[in-house]
Chains A and B, each alone.
Chain A
Amino acid sequence: MATVDIRGVHKAFGPTKVIHGVDISIEDEEFVVLVGPSGCGKSTLLRMIAGLEQISDGEIAIGGKVVNDVAPKDRDIAMVFQNYALYPHMTVYDNMAFSLKLRKAEKALIDQRVRQAADILGLNPYLERYPRQLSGGQRQRVAMGRAIVRDPQVFLFDEPLSNLDAKLRVQMRTEIKALHQRLKTTSIYVTHDQVEAMTMADRIVVMHDGIVEQVGSPLELYDNPANTFVAGFIGSPAMNFFQGTLRRNGGIWVEAEDGTKLPAPGNVGGSDGQKVVYGVRPEHLALAGGSSGVPAKVEVVEPTGADTLVFSKIAGVHTCAVFSERHDFRPGQEIKLQPRLDVVHLFDAASGQHL
């Protein structure tokens, strides 16, 4: 168990700069998820923590000790790879025992640790099998078992669930979370799936193009996104955005590009005439009656069973709204949608920052 501190870390592969100064401090026993679109440098950052990539600039400390020049094997971390990286020529048992054997641990201790891990992960029936004889989910568990057996200071996960089917992914997600609650080992988990991030993390680090956009608990990010990138990335379906101009005459509202009047909360900052981005989440649009609300023209209705997704056009922009009750709008029907004012977000159009 240890803290992990990442201070001013840069990474360049030759001339290409990939990570441009990242600062994150991770507390002991915390489960932190690095999330961001493909190619933003999540894996690179994780591999630098593991010691598999050189750190170009800045420093990384594990348990207070700077590890820039410490070899991977001496960092006392375990990593679960996306492709699992199980040793194909070893049985499940040997895969899990390998690190302890290298450490010359006693046979009895190895056996005890491996069987304990196998118990936790439900791998007991498969100990004598080779990785090839396992299903994807079982291999995933072996990879985790290999990490658990070590009892390391930090667990690193690089998209461990992305090779599993949707149902198994949800199941393993819960299992990993439960495992963390049981072992309490500091964990850093990389994913590009924001649902995984939201459901598993104590804290989420949103990365984009090699920088950290925002760090916070899942609900903090959901409620108070710092900028349009985080607002659009966190939450599913994604937030709706409208370009417009802030107006402070006759109440506070935003004039969309086609002149549509979008109601804004009264406490919002920003000056009259400022170019802004108006953001509202699909679940924060309600059906309005009478004269209130913003006119919307229904395009597609997608019932998912639990919810109904209504795609419509507001102010010339494709907009998604989610209703927990059922509606059977016809395509082309004119409806009116009312944004919940307390959860409408305004961003500066130029910088993308929250107002």
Chain B
Amino acid sequence: MATAALNRTGSIVRKPLVDLLDNRNVLSVICMAPAAILLLTFLTYPLGLGVWLGFTDTKIGRPGFFIGLENYISLFDDSVFWLVVFNTLLYTTVATVLKFGLGLYLALLLNNHLPFKAILRAIILLPWIVPTVLSAIAFWWIYDAQFSILSYMLQKMGLIDQYIDFLGKPNNARASLIAANVWRGIPFVAICLLAGLQTISPSLYEAAALDGATPWQRFRHVTMPMLMPILSIVLTFSVLFTFTDFQLIYAITRGGPVNSTHLMATLAFQRAIPGGQLGEGAAIATAMIPFLVAATLSSYFGLQRRKWQQGESDG
């Protein structure tokens, strides 16, 4: 009303450009543009290129031609590929379960009043701070067939007669890699869950104690439901990181023995770069997308704000 009145008297005439900038839609496009351009260049382009390569027979040093689904068809008949899919699922599942079990346990411990709490928390974070490749080399030594400190100690304690061939046998190698991944992944899980635990008001535990809950019932009926929102976020991230793990595997076993520890990411790299088959490698990498989308979607739906977290009062 005020503007209209002013316009009629002609004392203030707004410029069209200012009007345009005042428009919510125009403004939001302008504000989003930088981020959108960055994302398009640095995320979508490589992703698009990868997917495109998967449909070609590109080799290193030779531009390829579009060959449709041929790469995928040949992968479908490739027993190594299916072994690797199995490896990846096994690796992700077992490592995630262990990381969450142990991480939650550690977080619960650290949430109590412990002596030297600050130091303990710092120590817990250590595996995460060490560069992956460095810890991978350390694990390589720990798992070495002749110089393994683990075998040495077990033997001194009289638990084993001869050194364990950690990386030489398929199942040993799988277990060893999972152990290394769990070691590296626990800090992230433990610290995130600890942050979640600390948001739970102590008076809820006191109320539950007075209501007659045993420590287990307090965990089951107070801690777990209150921790669920953060737990599902951390779970998503952890699954994504583990599923796409590359560094640990490549530094410790390079997929061996006989492909038993190859994950989809390492196999894709193996075929594409040392093997030169860029197209096939890209196809393997692209085959990870459906798994990742499924994992993200399931946690997205699991993540949706639970009813009790919403504030609006209806009905």
Q: Which A residues fall within an 8 A CB radius of B?
A: 50-52, 71-73, 75, 77-79, 81, 83, 85, 87-90, 98-99, 102-103, 128-134, 146, 150
Contact of B206 (CB < 8 Å), options: A52, A129, A146:
A52
Q: Is A81 within 8 A of B207, CB to CB?
A: yes
Report B167-220 residues with CB < 8 Å from chain A CB: 201, 203-204, 206-214, 217
Given contacts A89-B306, A130-B307, A132-B308, contact A83 B212 (CB under 8 A): no
| Alpha-carbon distance between A85 and B313 when the two chains are bound, in angstroms | 20
Residues of B within 8 A of A83 (CB): 201, 203
Interface string of B274-306 (1 = CB under 8 A from A): 000000000000000000000000000000001
Q: Is A73 within 8 A of B313, CB to CB?
A: no
Residues of B within 8 A of A103 (CB): 212
Q: Is A85 within 8 A of B201, CB to CB?
A: yes
Residues of B within 8 A of A128 (CB): 315
Give the shortest distance, in Å, between A201 (CB) and chain B (any CB). 23
Give the shortest distance, in Å, between B82 (CB) and chain A (any CB). 42
Please provide the 6 A-B residue pairs with the shortest distance between their CB atoms, ordered closest to farther: A99-B211, A85-B203, A85-B207, A133-B313, A130-B308, A89-B225
Q: Which B residues fall within an 8 A CB radius of A?
A: 201, 203-204, 206-214, 217, 221-222, 225-226, 306-315
Given contacts A83-B201, A85-B201, A85-B203, contact A72 B210 (CB under 8 A): yes
Residues of B within 8 A of A88 (CB): 226, 308-309
| Alpha-carbon distance between A77 and B206 when the two chains are bound, in angstroms | 12
Give the shortest distance, in Å, between A180 (CB) and chain B (any CB). 19
Of all chain B residues, which has the CB nearest A133?
B313
Q: Is B311 within 8 A of A73, CB to CB?
A: no
Residues of B within 8 A of A133 (CB): 310-314
Q: Is A132 within 8 A of B209, CB to CB?
A: no
| Alpha-carbon distance between A88 and B306 when the two chains are bound, in angstroms | 11
Residues of A within 8 A of B221 (CB): 87, 98
Q: Is A132 within 8 A of B212, CB to CB?
A: no
Residues of A within 8 A of B210 (CB): 50-52, 72-73, 75, 77-79
Give the shortest distance, in Å, between A173 (CB) and chain B (any CB). 22
Q: Is B207 within 8 A of A79, CB to CB?
A: yes
| Alpha-carbon distance between A89 and B225 when the two chains are bound, in angstroms | 7
Residues of A within 8 A of B309 (CB): 88, 132
A-B contacts, 5 listed (Cβ < 8 Å) = A50-B210, A77-B210, A85-B201, A87-B222, A89-B306
Given contacts A99-B211, A102-B213, A102-B217, contact A85 B206 (CB under 8 A): yes
Of all chain B residues, which has the CB nearest A134?
B313
Residues of B within 8 A of A77 (CB): 210
Q: Is B312 within 8 A of A89, CB to CB?
A: no
Residues of A within 8 A of B307 (CB): 130
Q: Is A85 within 8 A of B213, CB to CB?
A: no
Of all chain A residues, which has the CB nearest B204?
A85
Residues of A within 8 A of B313 (CB): 129, 133-134
| Alpha-carbon distance between A335 and B42 when the two chains are bound, in angstroms | 85
Q: Is A102 within 8 A of B206, CB to CB?
A: no
Given contacts A88-B308, A89-B308, A133-B311, contact A102 B226 (CB under 8 A): no
Residues of B within 8 A of A99 (CB): 211-212
Of all chain A residues, which has the CB nearest B224?
A89
Residues of A within 8 A of B206 (CB): 50, 52, 72, 79, 81, 85
| Alpha-carbon distance between A118 and B225 when the two chains are bound, in angstroms | 25
Give the shortest distance, in Å, between A109 (CB) and chain B (any CB). 15
| Alpha-carbon distance between A174 and B241 when the two chains are bound, in angstroms | 58
Of all chain A residues, which has the CB nearest B206?
A52
Given contacts A81-B206, A83-B203, contact A73 B211 (CB under 8 A): yes
| Alpha-carbon distance between A146 and B208 when the two chains are bound, in angstroms | 11
| Alpha-carbon distance between A103 and B309 when the two chains are bound, in angstroms | 27
Give the shortest distance, in Å, between A146 (CB) and chain B (any CB). 8
Of all chain A residues, which has the CB nearest B211?
A99
Residues of A within 8 A of B310 (CB): 130, 132-133
| Alpha-carbon distance between A52 and B211 when the two chains are bound, in angstroms | 12
Contact of A102 (CB < 8 Å), options: B204, B211, B311, B314:
B211
Further 20 A-B residue pairs, CB within 8 A, beyond A52-B206, A52-B209, A52-B210: A50-B206, A51-B209, A72-B206, A72-B210, A73-B212, A78-B210, A79-B206, A81-B203, A85-B207, A88-B226, A89-B225, A89-B306, A98-B208, A102-B211, A132-B308, A133-B311, A133-B312, A133-B313, A146-B207, A150-B211
Give the shortest distance, in Å, between A325 (CB) and chain B (any CB). 47
